[in-house]
Amino acid sequence: MPVDFSGTWNLVCSDNFEGYMLALGIDFATRKIAKRLKPQKVIEQEGDSFSIQTTSAFRSYFVQFKIGEEFEEDNKGLDHRKCKSVVTWDNDKLVCVQTGDKKNRGWTHWIEGDQLYLELCCEEQVCTQIYKSA
Ligand code: VLZ
């Protein structure tokens, strides 16, 4: 039985989101607003199918995928760079590799205790976020 990420999750802490946004080339004004946000994630997991809705007061982002199936991401509302993404399991971690103009771009989700973790990577920057069940 794989881990179940399904649920509604609220951000409780975030480290180096600023560095991640800088690596993505997000402008100063947007970063200023974005770093204060407390996004909520609604994750739906059914077998190999996932959807992740990230909502905030400022911008929101939706992604849908199946494990092992490459899909195109537009990163609309974020940096708008298109990339080819694929999500796979690494033991109990959900690992997304986002291939495009930016090196080492991707994210990893895992659960520890009652917390949902998210590591966002771009180039040399790593942002770590922790979410708690709503
Ligand atoms: O999450 O890649 O859960 O897409 C934050 C919106 C969304 C705030 C960040 C506005 C998406 C920021 C992070 C404006 C620059 C992400 C994946 C993993 C699913």
Quick: pLDDT tens for 64-82. Answer: 999 999 999 999 999 999 9
Cβ of residue 22 lying under 6 Å from some atom of ligand 1: no
- Say whether 34 sits in a helix, a strand or coil: helix
Interface predicted TM-score (ipTM): 0.96
pLDDT tens column, 14-24: 999 999 999 99
Q: Which of 35, 72, 78, 121 to mutate to test the pocket of ligand 1 (most atoms within 8 A of CB)?
A: 78
pLDDT digit of tens for each residue in the chain (134 aa)? 689 999 999 999 999 999 999 999 999 999 999 999 999 999 999 999 999 999 999 999 999 999 999 999 999 999 999 999 999 999 999 999 999 999 999 999 999 999 999 999 999 999 999 999 99
Cβ of residue 87 lying under 6 Å from some atom of ligand 1: no
CB 20 within 8 A of CB 126: yes
Determine the Cα–Cα distance for residues 96 and 88; give it in Å rounded to an integer: 7
For ligand 1, the distance from its centroid to the CA atom of residue 40, given in whole angstroms, is 10
Cβ of residue 5 lying under 6 Å from some atom of ligand 1: no
Ligand 1 closest atom vs CA 31: 15
Determine the Cα–Cα distance for residues 51 and 63; give it in Å rounded to an integer: 6
